[in-house]
Amino acid sequence: MDLLTRINRVAFLGPEFLTWLWFRIETEGESFEVDGASETVEVWFDDRLVVGSTMVNAQENHFRGGHPPTSIEARAALRLGKLATEARLRFIQGSREWSIVLKATDLTYGGVKIPAVLSKDDEERFYERMYLLEELDCMLSGIFGQFVKARISPSWETHLLPAIKTWVGQGVMVESPSSSADKKSQRVEATDVPPEVSPRNPDLPPWEDPVGTPNK
């Protein structure tokens, strides 16, 4: 197998990685210990997310504004078998913050924002910018490495993938006309809140709250 074929063959790992990252942040938190990073790295999904299918020529869903990963629509798209293909991510290390738009299909970055560069001299500014970009690469490669190692380990099929499937399934059930009679099965999210009380987070507008259901 030539190099180009090998590169193209594993391109699906990019969207799988971004979706795993979404799952990982929601279930275990946003903190990551990364080899080579001086401090714990926090990763957040920001205000931009694209969810699409890598297997079929399906529509892409573009989400902008608010916090798309917690939106009902984004989770519903996951339940249709789509994966995250692009997202604006924030990386935080101590008091420093980076922001990128990660295109998962080829792991390219756009709109990279790095912490403020202090140097005034051209040459020093160059070194500082490169250092900050390399720190960003270190964080992203480290987290991608954690995913790849999990992805190719035997426990992927037995533990991690079932957990991701459960997480995806816990999102909003998609209402289809044929199943409208079975309303009871269409829960929004497991919750202990009595059905007559809205479990919605009052601090969030309804379109950003994946948990909420309006009172009927």
For position 6 contacting other proteins by CB under 8 A, the verdict is yes
Residue 90's nearest CA partner among 75, 77, 101, 79 is: 101
For position 122 contacting other proteins by CB under 8 A, the verdict is yes
Q: Are 141 and 133 in contact (CB under 8 A)?
A: no
HEC letters along 53-100: CCCCCCCCEEEECCCHHHCHHHHHHHHCCCEEEEEEEEEEECCEEEEE
For position 163 contacting other proteins by CB under 8 A, the verdict is no
Q: How far is the CB of 203 from other proteins (least distance, A)?
A: 30
Distance CA 13, CA 147 (A): 9
For position 2 contacting other proteins by CB under 8 A, the verdict is no
Alpha carbon 162 to its chain's center? 18
What sign does the dihedral 105-15-147-8 (CA atoms) show?
negative
Query: Which is nearer to other proteins, 56 or 190 (by Cβ)?
Result: 56
Distance CA 92, CA 45 (A): 12
Pairing of strands 83-93, 61-64: unpaired
Query: Which is nearer to other proteins, 89 or 200 (by Cβ)?
Result: 89
By CB under 8 A, what part of segment 35-94 binds other proteins?
35-36, 53-56, 58-59, 78-83
For position 193 contacting other proteins by CB under 8 A, the verdict is no
For position 107 contacting other proteins by CB under 8 A, the verdict is yes
Helix 161-169 to helix 72-79 angle (10° resolution) is 130
Of positions 29, 110, 195, 206, contacts other proteins by CB under 8 A:
110
Of 40-48, 67-75, 85-93, 134-142, the segment contacting other proteins by CB under 8 A is 134-142
**Interface residue list for other proteins (CB under 8 A):** 1, 3, 6-7, 9-14, 16-17, 19, 35-36, 53-56, 58-59, 78-83, 106-114, 122-123, 125-127, 129-130, 133-134, 137-138, 141-142, 144-145, 148-149, 151-152, 156, 161, 164-166, 168-169, 176
